[in-house]
Structure 1
Amino acid sequence: MVKFLKYQWELFWLALGFFSRIPIPQSTPYSEERMNRSGRYFPLVGLALGAIVYAGYWAFSYVLPIEVAVLLTMILSVLLTGAFHEDGLADMADGIGGGMTVERRLEIMKDSRLGTYGTITLILALFLKWQLLVTLFGSSLISPVLVLLIGYGLSRAVAVTLIYDMKYVTDSAGSKSKPLAQRQTLAEFWCAIAIGVTPLIGIPPVPASIMLVSMMILRVLFQIWLDKRLGGFTGDCLGAVQQVSELTLYIIMLMMIQ
């Protein structure tokens, strides 16, 4: 049992090191197999990031107006993740928006330069997130910590479970996501979901069910869309799905408290 728990803890450290800029112990063992297995803890990384970001908001909101506090909170989030998911959203927007064939779309997505589609998508997404969080945090009907834990945890569960039943279409040997995205077992699929839905325990059953079903539908629609446009997924697509899922959850929360 001790060996099993130690292994799981090491997998979590790998996931934290991959999906964030938070330092992890240098002694953490690494292999492509372990990196692949660590994907189950992507939603747990989201919960950890959500907790840290909430702590930042709590401190900022004591001395600053809510609009400024939320903006600083978003900056903190980007610093913690290295804009990992936002970068994926922008790259996917450039690729799918600017390419007429699957090959061309994948080629554009590998380009480090930011294009028109990616720029517009990123600006609108960040502004929308700021506006949604300002409104949600200003409401007394839902706690900011729950908003962030649900948004950060469940959105990452939606993204990482795409690995289970989709084809990884990036063939670049230097792809950072390649060790993670090769395969996912059914047990890891359900582990990620179980972690991602945990924050929903903190809200009433009906809103929780609405958000859960909405994420299931969103996942199916994204899978169909990505299969049609790319023939599968890339690491950028996972980042994009995370961002879109997070924004969708905030929109649903806002609709339910109006």
Structure 2
Amino acid sequence: MSVVRNEVALIWVALGYFTRIPVPQWVWTDQDRLNRASRYFGLVGFLMGAASALVFWLSSLVLPGSIAVLLAMVVGLLLTGCFHEDGLADTADGLGGGWQLADKLRIMKDSRLGSYGALVLLMAVLLKWQLLTELANFSVNFTATALILGHTLSRVLAASMIFTEPYVRDDDSKSKPIVTEQNWNDLWVLLTTGVLVLLLLPVMQALMLLMSLVVCRWLLVRWLRAQLGGYTGDTLGACQQIGELVVYLLLVALLIGGGQ
């Protein structure tokens, strides 16, 4: 298989892992391919963000900004099948309701939604809608850019944890395969995606956002090490959601504080 064809296949593997988009029949997946596909998780985020941004921009032509934001969020949920939101809810239930490591992992595997997960998920969705609505009140174009930044950078943040943190194994885990390792090539491609997306912002705003995400990642890593000793698929989803909120929070602060 040629290098280009192999990279295209890895992109499809990443799309198939994160989204409900049908994958061509010629693309096959195994554990090694899934691990290598992690380099394109940021690219998948860019595509999800671009789709949400397009729906938002078109909707804002005929609808109030708050409704356009809601439609953009719905598109993201439909494309991913609530993949990351499910991880956030399961993580909240597991870490909120479990005392021992085994208990936390067991609760996260449970498909039932608990009170911790329900409340955290509700607050996260409401906060995301409110932040994006605030951005929409200032600038439609900036909000579309924010959607691209949020979807892309949050996935880069979450996927980068695979390189430095151990996967917390559980033989009775959920049936969906999990990315368990990442090499230097995977990491550099992933980080390059994030850097390129940051070029959508002025230099100072890009640097402030980058530093905020670095701090956010450091705090999340310390938290997960203390709670689990590593990461699970659910916690990566939770980190993506938290990272996306951090992006929107900072952009709202920059936009309002800068008087744009």
TM-score over 0.5 for the pair: yes
| Local SS of the residue matching 2:2 | helix
- Per the normalisation by structure 2, the TM-score is 0.94
Alignment partner of 1:223 is 2:233: no
Q: Which residue of structure 2 lines up, in the alignment, with residue 257 of structure 1?
A: 255
Q: Deviations over 1:56-95 (max 9, x none)?
A: 1122222221111111111111001000000000000000
Alignment partner of 1:108 is 2:111: no
Query: Structure 2 CA distance, aligned partners of 1:69 and 1:143?
Result: 14
- The RMSD of aligned alpha carbons is 1.5
Q: Which moved more, 1:31-40 or 1:55-64?
A: 55-64
Mark the runs of 5 or more structure 2 residues left unpaired by the alignment. Answer: none
Query: Structure 1 CA distance, aligned partners of 2:26 and 2:81?
Result: 22
Query: Structure 1 CA distance, aligned partners of 2:118 and 2:57?
Result: 30
Query: Structure 1 CA distance, aligned partners of 2:52 and 2:147?
Result: 8
Does the Cα contact within 8 Å between 1:169 and 1:231 map onto a contact in 2?
Answer: yes
Q: Which residue of structure 1 lines up, in the alignment, with residue 187 of structure 2?
A: 189
The 5 A counterparts of 1:6-155 are 6-140=5-139, 143-155=142-154
The 5 A counterparts of 1:233-248 are 233-248=231-246
The CA deviation at 1:140 is 2.9
Q: Deviations over 1:183-231 (max 9, x none)?
A: 1112211211110221210211111001101111111111111010011
Query: Structure 2 CA distance, aligned partners of 1:94 and 1:204?
Result: 39
| Local SS of the residue matching 1:255 | helix
The alignment of Structure 1 onto Structure 2 pairs a total of residues equal to 256
Q: Which moved more, 1:88-97 or 1:139-148?
A: 139-148
Q: Deviations over 1:113-170 (max 9, x none)?
A: 0000000000000000000011112213962221111101111000001011111113
- Per the normalisation by structure 1, the TM-score is 0.95
Moved over 2 A (4+): 172-179
Percentage identity across paired residues of the two chains: 42
Q: Which moved more, 1:236-245 or 1:72-81?
A: 72-81
Q: Which moved more, 1:248-257 or 1:198-207?
A: 198-207
Query: Structure 1 CA distance, aligned partners of 2:174 and 2:186?
Result: 22
Does the Cα contact within 8 Å between 2:55 and 2:72 map onto a contact in 1?
Answer: yes
Does the Cα contact within 8 Å between 1:106 and 1:170 map onto a contact in 2?
Answer: no
| Local SS of the residue matching 2:61 | helix
Query: Structure 2 CA distance, aligned partners of 1:32 and 1:48?
Result: 24
Q: Which amino acid aligns with 2:230?
A: G
Mark the runs of 5 or more structure 1 residues left unpaired by the alignment. Answer: none
Q: Which amino acid aligns with 1:100?
A: W
